[in-house]
Structure 1
């Protein structure tokens, strides 16, 4: 008997409605899932869209490598310029020069060399080191008490400078008490500066001891301006506005005031009278001027040089008067000045009178008064004709006799409007001092120790 093996099964290809429905449902589901995958993208939550989405991305930065930024501080010295300092700190020579050049464009730093002592803060991207130098990204300096400069590298590698200027407000500070060592030390301890002591002493020119620092136990009272920012932080000291002194050799009080008509600031006493002039600009009267103070070509040598005085044109033999009270420091002859006289005056001033034909019989050490005749106009020495060469020196330095600010002796009491304005300012200063009468400094209530106060 032969065994029959079953052959391949036949597929029933006849249409069956129940099977067709199953196929249609499966195809629809598959197509729908594919459509969702292709056309639908994940979206952030509604609260993280737009700007908030960008902010949210910052949370991922901690997972990314960051640049290594470092700040280093250096200081300009007499032997190291600003660019040199930046190179020492790690900048390339090109970056250092570019940053310093940008800082100079502000006009707030010297065009040639920054002042020794100027501090620079340099910021580097240390991830971009090359040849032992770091990529300089910014430099900050403070050229003065008011301003801060920041030079930052831009996308084109140029440095752009921003200037931050503090908003300034003027206030006042009072320092009063007794001198224990020197006036400068007492004022500095109270928040002033040594220059305030110099200004105060200059108001009492006949007190040599005060000019040298004062005597122990001498009493003083000073008010000066101070500059503060909008938060009340101290920035710098300003000018002296009031000074009083009650010492062994002198006493008095002075108020700074600027008359509206002249615009010239002076110190006036409590009665509105300015200090009397102690020098004159015109020792032979108001005569024509041949040559003023400043650079000029010498009429004999032809070289450009500083003309250290003023040349007054006058006939030979015209009397020359002492410009102020003083002592003859020198009388003699040399090739330049010819026959000349030099007089020492108070407050560190000297006057010189050159090219005289003869002197008036004086000798070194003789005391003279303002207006005394000390000699006569001539043409001795390096002179092209009869004239007076007149110099004023202050603490050994030449000053322009025509522009030097000298006391005027002006009396505001004779000018009702100016006097009223002066009294108003005086009252403000007295209020700062807590004073009730002009002579309160002289009262026994003056504190024996330094103290400060500000409104």
Structure 2
């Protein structure tokens, strides 16, 4: 028994003077459809965006229905959602909604609305192309650079989605030169991203200007990963793997490497030494922890709240040391923290030391170095006993001092096998840069750039 296909109700467009209201409504429907066609901007099948789209469909040949099909292409716009586009291309309202819902269930398409500009290729049964609505056989979209989706009609008239994931090959690109405007602009112009510029700047914390773009004339050299498909088409940028900088206030070079024993990726200097931690997790040494970071019931109020730091157990009077170099921004008393000190560090970090019994002669505005004594453990403020409450904030947000990714200061040169593996990767990166000696940043000329003198 052939299942009757549902379609939209036909509109009677015959003009009858005594049915003026019906004629007006019909006119509105026609105008509405014309406007929708304008929004959708359907294209002819010959105008595929690229040969890649056609190639992607060849990869789906086994998933396509056996019926003879014809395809039409439309584009999601601000004024026309995906289901609207399919209806304009000729699908019934029911088929359009079913196909779009199936695509959304993959999790690769926005649950509410596809992005404007998303192209949909609709495949119809050729035998129904003369009807007001055509039998939708399949719908193909490319929601991102990695994936292509094909929703095909099943025997029960539901739609099943096949997902094609591009096979990626990792290659590398180099960006090197002098800053003309800003470091992000320079890297983006060479095929990198603002994220690469931020990662490079983070490796040189002694140069605060670099995090905001650097200065004209400063030299940079960066190598980053690039993901490409099997045909060599660019898919997306990957991680920064090498960074060198020759600026007014800082200079150096760093190689990204993942030791086999720890699995922790860090940047190491050419001598195999990782960046030294600029903050410590243990401002009074490795002592017992009373309470960790996260949600807990407050010991005094009994209310569930976020415990914003780590409580270290220690006898009253234990010296508290600065976690890193910085400037004291507050040294005083509050009801909750008791006597406490705040220190502003580089890279947007801030530390706080609370419940102190006394200060070591410090006041707001004082400069401290890592390891300097700030004060002593106590139980002032909202405390049930002597301990240090220690917080770290990054760009104003609380972070867990125990899980925060900090440089290790590890020296691979003391580990022969690991150091040999690092040197092999370093040699590969140097080759990518055009040889072991860069034309622009050689060991002999890698010196600080001097500020230009006034004429």
What TM-score do the two structures reach when normalised by structure 2?
0.72
Residue 299 of structure 1: CA displacement? Answer: 3.7
1:281-360 map, 5 Å: 281-360=281-360
Partner of 2:120: 121
Tell me, yes or no, if structure 1 residue 86 matches structure 2 residue 88. no
How much is the aligned-residue C-alpha RMSD, in angstroms? 3.2
Q: Distance in 1 between matches of 2:272 and 2:428?
A: 15
1:214-229 map, 5 Å: 214-229=214-229
Tell me, yes or no, if structure 1 residue 147 matches structure 2 residue 147. yes
Partner of 2:258: 258
The SS at the match of 2:376 is: strand
Partner of 1:24: none
Residue 429 of structure 1: CA displacement? Answer: 0.7
Q: Distance in 2 between matches of 1:294 and 1:142?
A: 40
Q: Which moved more, 1:229-238 or 1:113-122?
A: 113-122
Residue 288 of structure 1: CA displacement? Answer: 1.5
Q: Distance in 2 between matches of 1:287 and 1:440?
A: 49
Rg larger in structure: 1
Q: Distance in 2 between matches of 1:300 and 1:139?
A: 61
Out of 63, 76, 82, the residue aligned to residue 74 of structure 1 is 76
Residue 343 of structure 1: CA displacement? Answer: 0.9
The SS at the match of 2:290 is: strand
Contact conserved, 1:72 with 1:121, CA < 8 A, in 2? yes
Q: Distance in 1 between matches of 2:69 and 2:114?
A: 33
Q: Distance in 2 between matches of 1:69 and 1:254?
A: 52
RCO higher in structure (CA 8 A, sep ≥6): 1
Task: Figure out how many residues of one structure are paired with residues of the other and give that number.
Answer: 371
Partner of 1:15: none
Contact conserved, 1:204 with 1:250, CA < 8 A, in 2? yes
Q: Distance in 2 between matches of 1:335 and 1:118?
A: 55
Show CA shifts across 1:370-418 (max 9, x none).
1112122233334333322222122222222112121111111121111
Show CA shifts across 1:13-35 (max 9, x none).
xxxxxxxxxxxxxxxxxxxxxxx
Q: Which moved more, 1:164-173 or 1:359-368?
A: 359-368
Q: Distance in 2 between matches of 1:373 and 1:117?
A: 58
Q: Distance in 1 between matches of 2:141 and 2:153?
A: 15
Q: Distance in 2 between matches of 1:96 and 1:357?
A: 70
Q: Distance in 1 between matches of 2:257 and 2:331?
A: 40
Partner of 2:243: 243
Q: Distance in 2 between matches of 1:404 and 1:175?
A: 30
Q: Distance in 2 between matches of 1:307 and 1:216?
A: 44
Q: Distance in 2 between matches of 1:146 and 1:406?
A: 32
Residue 226 of structure 1: CA displacement? Answer: 0.5
Residues 121 and 289 of structure 1, relative CA distance in 2, 3 Å threshold: farther
Contact conserved, 1:146 with 1:235, CA < 8 A, in 2? yes
Show CA shifts across 1:178-210 (max 9, x none).
000001100000000011111111111101121
Contact conserved, 1:74 with 1:86, CA < 8 A, in 2? yes
Contact conserved, 2:312 with 2:389, CA < 8 A, in 1? yes
The SS at the match of 1:417 is: helix
Residue 90 of structure 1: CA displacement? Answer: 6.0
Q: Distance in 2 between matches of 1:219 and 1:200?
A: 12
Partner of 2:399: 399
Partner of 1:415: 415
The SS at the match of 1:208 is: coil
Residues 164 and 221 of structure 1, relative CA distance in 2, 3 Å threshold: same
Contact conserved, 1:225 with 1:237, CA < 8 A, in 2? yes
Contact conserved, 2:82 with 2:113, CA < 8 A, in 1? no
Residues 170 and 300 of structure 1, relative CA distance in 2, 3 Å threshold: same
Contact conserved, 2:277 with 2:407, CA < 8 A, in 1? yes
Q: Distance in 2 between matches of 1:373 and 1:439?
A: 47
Partner of 1:449: none
Show CA shifts across 1:244-292 (max 9, x none).
1111211111111111111111111111111111110011111122222
Residues 332 and 89 of structure 1, relative CA distance in 2, 3 Å threshold: farther
Q: Distance in 2 between matches of 1:120 and 1:162?
A: 17
Contact conserved, 2:82 with 2:114, CA < 8 A, in 1? no
Show CA shifts across 1:147-185 (max 9, x none).
222333323232211111000111000011000000110
Q: Which moved more, 1:299-308 or 1:249-258?
A: 299-308
Partner of 1:62: none
Residue 97 of structure 1: CA displacement? Answer: 6.3
Residues 315 and 175 of structure 1, relative CA distance in 2, 3 Å threshold: same
What TM-score do the two structures reach when normalised by structure 1?
0.72
Q: Which moved more, 1:223-232 or 1:101-110?
A: 101-110
Partner of 1:213: 213
Residues 276 and 227 of structure 1, relative CA distance in 2, 3 Å threshold: same
Q: Distance in 1 between matches of 2:226 and 2:391?
A: 36
Q: Distance in 2 between matches of 1:219 and 1:392?
A: 33
